[in-house]
Amino acid sequence: MLRSYLLLAWKVLRRRPFFTATSLFGIAFTLSVLTVASALYESIANPGEPLTRAGRVLGVYDVRGLGPHMCVFSSPGYGLLDRCARSLPGAEKVTVFGKGEPMTSFLEGRKIVSQFRRTDGAYWELLQFRFLEGAPFTADDDSTGAFVAVVNATTRRRFFGSEPATGKSIVLGGRTYRVVGVVKDVPITCPEGYADVWTPIGTSLTPDRQKSYLGGYQCLVLAHSRADFANLRAEFARRVAEVQIPDQQELQTLTAALESRQAYVARGTFNTEIGRDMSARLSFAVFFVMLLFMTLPAINLVNLTMSRVLERSSEIGIRRAFGASARSLIGQFLVENLVLTGIAGIAGLLLAAVLLSIVNRSGLVPYAHFGIDLRVFLDGLALALFFGLWSGVYPAWRMSRMDPIRALQGRLS
């Protein structure tokens, strides 16, 4: 039965090239845009390497300081994170690291700008980088302020061509570092892991910076399980509240919170206070926008399909007269629609793959390797299926309710 439905669908679609082409184009285009969006979303929400354990990670991304005459909003300082986050009881790992800044080098007259990030030793344990050679620097390197560096593959190529880099030195911002390891490039869509060169915080830790509460740093806390989140948050908040700010005249209170990445992104989107988790609302908003975006082409497809049904009313009457039950007509029709959206879905995925590889190659997003992995592929497939059913159900229902005699006489409106 299904086979003959499929065959029939194929024949009908082939005989209607214009209808088929218009619908195909509309659906394929919509699906490809949605697939690209979903690939971008996935790569930010689930960045994968090196943040493979994102589900168990909380971070401190922002601090707000309030005083009688001023209000400061910035990234946290090293001192605050060192005091309040570093030794949180119950955390599996805590890392404090710099936000990163561009750093210039000159190599044989060429100017090279690298994204430079200072980290502690735990950074390399919490985040799981893939090392192409060598090894990370350690907590000891950090505390002794050793001038060592981990670089990414692109930096190795820029400085050393195709040679290995471990053991060699590079000069950045006028200082010389010994390369101890090389990691795979990390795209900017994983901001915590993105950089070209990493060095220990200890190489530049002045007493001032050691005490600062505001500016330049962030931290990640890996919990043993998500069940510990509440305790970790409470303890961190308690410690922040206890902080004595030396510069009493300017700032009196500090606000900071351990947040999930999603909550951080949602907070940025909705511009709400630190610590408020709006991620559920963001997911809903994203879903809603996607739905809205799909509705227009879906309505369009319903329209096209509906006029096709009316145009084919005589065929429907014929099939009814020759023994098709209303149910089997619905089946035939839905199969036809699913074949259409299925083909369009595949076309949409291919188009999306092409678009993503263009984005990857354009260099617009540093080190991007967006692609259609299984997850995005399944998203796309689900979208196509949803589309096919959505646009087919109403016309099919109308069709099944047609009076066969009126259908035969073409007296349907």
Partner 1 sequence: MLELKNVGKVYRTERLETQALEGINLKVRPGDFLAVMGPSGSGKSTLLHLLGLLDQPTQGMVELDGRQVMDHDDVTLSHLRNEMLGFVFQSFHLVADLSVLDNVEIPLLYRPLSNRVRRDLALRSLGRVGLSSRVHHYPSQLSGGQQQRVAIARAIVGSPRILLADEPTGNLDSQTGEEIIAILEELNRKEGMSVVMVTHDQRFAERTHRIIRLFDGRQIN
Is position 408 an interface residue for partner 1 (rule: CB under 8 A)? Answer: yes
Binders of partner 1 in range 140-159 (CB under 8 A) = none
Is position 319 an interface residue for partner 1 (rule: CB under 8 A)? Answer: yes
Residue with tokens 């309710």: 401
Binders of partner 1 in range 375-394 (CB under 8 A) = none
Of the candidate residues 101, 281, 405, 411, the single one contacting partner 1 (CB under 8 A)? 405
d(CA 284, CA 121): 38
Residues for the chain: how many in total?
413
Is position 331 an interface residue for partner 1 (rule: CB under 8 A)? Answer: no
Is position 47 an interface residue for partner 1 (rule: CB under 8 A)? Answer: no
Nearest to 26 by CA among 372, 343, 371, 379: 343
8 vs 265, beta carbon nearer partner 1: 8
Q: Supply the minimum distance, in Å, between the C-beta of residue 11 and partner 1.
A: 7
Q: Supply the minimum distance, in Å, between the C-beta of residue 318 and partner 1.
A: 5
47 vs 317, beta carbon nearer partner 1: 317
Q: Helix 279-311 crosses helix 313-321 at what angle (to 10 degrees)? A: 80
Is position 92 an interface residue for partner 1 (rule: CB under 8 A)? Answer: no
69 vs 327, beta carbon nearer partner 1: 327
Is position 323 an interface residue for partner 1 (rule: CB under 8 A)? Answer: yes
321 vs 358, beta carbon nearer partner 1: 321
107 vs 405, beta carbon nearer partner 1: 405
CB atoms under 10 Å from CB of 130, counted, come to 12
Binding residues (CB under 8 A) for partner 1: these are 1, 3-4, 7-8, 11-12, 15-16, 312, 314-315, 317-328, 404-405, 408
